[in-house]
């Protein structure tokens, strides 16, 4: 087992070797959070504490393909301007020697508490599903958000229900009516996904309260990254189930991330869930996490990637880095549907503006519009039953016969197309960065996130279809 000091020395040596390749890569994004080098995945420990937003994240500094996990750390006063900090958590004790896995933050009594899963894999002939693995819930706390206490192991395999396998992880903690609660995602011995609910009076001593949901035949073998919060007084359960089959236009990634509107019974022993729906229809979205902002907004970040995806690639591996996070999104509930809105703070990134009104889609138009790929584009449609937009060489956004489709060519590196059924398209709101695009349909009713790797800057937007469109483009 390595110490923190040994890790620091090894990481610094690796940084000296690779940073020139990382920082000179044209696909490094301008305004999306990335790891300084290596690999980034799940956002962790999201919170607002003492005037700063904190985003921790799963970080493999030594391997762009995803190796031993640490917790990286960024802060921002405004969710726009970010400062990188030294690694927050290292896999440096016996209970997390094989990885500081995902977790969450809670602010209590003017201190930040971080909870995470410490991963341990024993040597030997193990499948690491039923044998050979420890999944430990570990807590640290901080009075300033940067210096952390000694690690305290709170839960081990012995504290989980006997019908669960050895995949139990990703604690999300919250306070409600003077009591603390923690959900953990789990995989049962018969390969079904569950959520476990624990309760505490002091954030240290935890007892299993219930197994409120899971065991469904068509909802996968593992429920990762569970999260629960309220919108408009309704319980929302957000999670990332693994092992769901594709259904029509839905669930085409190897693993999914989504939500169900639910309701806990009074004792919190049963969580009744409605229909599961995807949060993002694109190729690159997984492991979202929320936090409640100081102004009451529910804000979500996601990982712009998917684990175990083999059908598409990220060429940045050759330059010693891979993946990024999504933009922060405010979640709003309308009926039983979540709408995702880029947070208002992002408007501060806007620079030069170009606006065009009442453009007819009846004739194909090619407009020279883009200086580079860091831009925001908003399009408002009128009387348009079909259209096709082409930008960034081979990114095609089309709508016809009630189906909206995002399609990529060579720039997708294996990403082909994803679609969703919608009655009409009123607007598209697009955030483009050097190697990622986020597309918000109809004020966030549907969202598509995809990585994209262009070799040249295509300055043109091509429009064709029916009806009219007003557009505004901001350089970012």
Phi/psi of residue 448, nearest 5 degrees:
-125, 125
Active site residue 42: yes
Handedness of CA 265, 268, 270, 276 (dihedral sign): positive
Of 25, 42, 218, 308, the catalytic one is: 42
3-state secondary structure 201-218: CCCCCCEEEEEEEECCCC
Number of other residues whose CB lies within 10 A of the CB of residue 271: 21
Residues 78, 217: Cα–Cα separation, whole Å: 43
Residues contacting 81, CB < 8 A, separation 6+? none
CA triplet 170, 58, 231: central angle to 5 degrees? 50
Burial class (CB in 10 A: 0-12, 13-18, 19+), 369: middle
Which of 441, 454, 438, 451 has the alpha carbon at shortest distance from 387? 441
Residues 277, 337: Cα–Cα separation, whole Å: 9
Residues 353, 365: Cα–Cα separation, whole Å: 20
Residues 277, 250: Cα–Cα separation, whole Å: 9
Q: How far is CA 188 from CA 37, 220, 276, in A?
A: 35, 11, 20
Instruction: Answer for the pair 243, 201: CB distance below 8 angstroms, yes or no.
Output: no
In the chain, DSSP finds a helix count (H) and a strand count (E) of 1, 34
Residue numbers annotated as active site: 42
């Amino acid at each position: 087992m390595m110490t923190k000091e040994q890790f620091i020395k090894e990481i610094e040596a690796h940084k000296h070797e690779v940073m020139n390749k990382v920082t000179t890569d044209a696909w490094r994004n301008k305004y999306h959070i990335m790891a300084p080098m290596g690999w980034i995945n799940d956002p962790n420990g999201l919170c607002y504490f003492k005037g700063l937003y904190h985003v921790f994240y799963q970080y493999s500094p030594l391997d762009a393909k995803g190796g031993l996990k640490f917790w990286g750390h960024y802060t921002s006063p405004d969710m726009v301007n970010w400062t990188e900090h030294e690694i927050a958590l290292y896999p440096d004790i016996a209970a997390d020697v094989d990885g500081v896995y995902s977790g969450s933050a809670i602010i209590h009594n003017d201190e930040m508490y971080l909870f995470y899963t410490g991963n341990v894999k024993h040597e030997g002939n193990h499948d690491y599903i039923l044998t050979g693995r420890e999944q430990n819930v570990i807590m640290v706390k901080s009075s300033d958000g940067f210096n952390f206490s000694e690690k305290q192991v709170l839960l081990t395999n012995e504290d989980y229900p006997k019908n669960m396998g050895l995949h139990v992880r990703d604690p999300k903690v919250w306070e409600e009516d003077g009591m603390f609660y923690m959900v953990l995602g789990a995989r049962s011995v018969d390969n079904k996904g569950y959520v476990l609910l624990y309760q505490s009076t002091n954030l240290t001593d935890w007892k299993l309260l219930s197994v409120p949901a899971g065991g469904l035949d068509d909802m996968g073998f593992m429920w990762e990254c569970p999260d629960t919060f309220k919108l408009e007084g309704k319980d929302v359960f957000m999670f990332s189930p693994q092992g769901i089959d594709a259904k029509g236009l839905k669930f085409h990634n190897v693993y999914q991330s989504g939500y169900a509107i639910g309701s806990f019974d009074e004792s919190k022993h049963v969580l009744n869930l409605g229909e599961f729906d995807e949060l993002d229809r694109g190729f690159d979205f997984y492991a979202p996490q929320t936090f409640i902002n100081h102004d009451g907004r529910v804000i979500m970040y996601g990982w712009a990637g998917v684990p175990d995806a083999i059908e598409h690639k990220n060429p940045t591996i050759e330059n010693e880095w891979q993946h990024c996070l999504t933009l922060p999104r405010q979640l709003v509930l309308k009926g039983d549907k979540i709408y995702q809105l880029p947070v208002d703070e992002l408007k501060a990134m806007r620079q030069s503006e170009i606006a065009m009104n009442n453009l007819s889609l009846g004739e194909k138009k090619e407009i020279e519009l883009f200086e580079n790929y860091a831009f925001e584009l908003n399009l408002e449609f009128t009387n348009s039953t079909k259209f096709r937009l082409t930008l960034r060489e081979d990114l095609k956004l089309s709508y016809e016969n009630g189906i909206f489709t995002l399609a990529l060519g060579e720039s997708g590196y294996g990403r082909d197309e994803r679609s969703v059924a919608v009655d009409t398209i009123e607007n598209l709101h697009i955030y483009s960065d050097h190697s990622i695009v986020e597309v918000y349909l109809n004020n966030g009713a549907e969202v598509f996130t995809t990585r994209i790797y262009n070799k040249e800057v295509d300055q043109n937007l091509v429009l064709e279809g029916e009806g009219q469109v007003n557009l505004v483009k901001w350089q970012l």
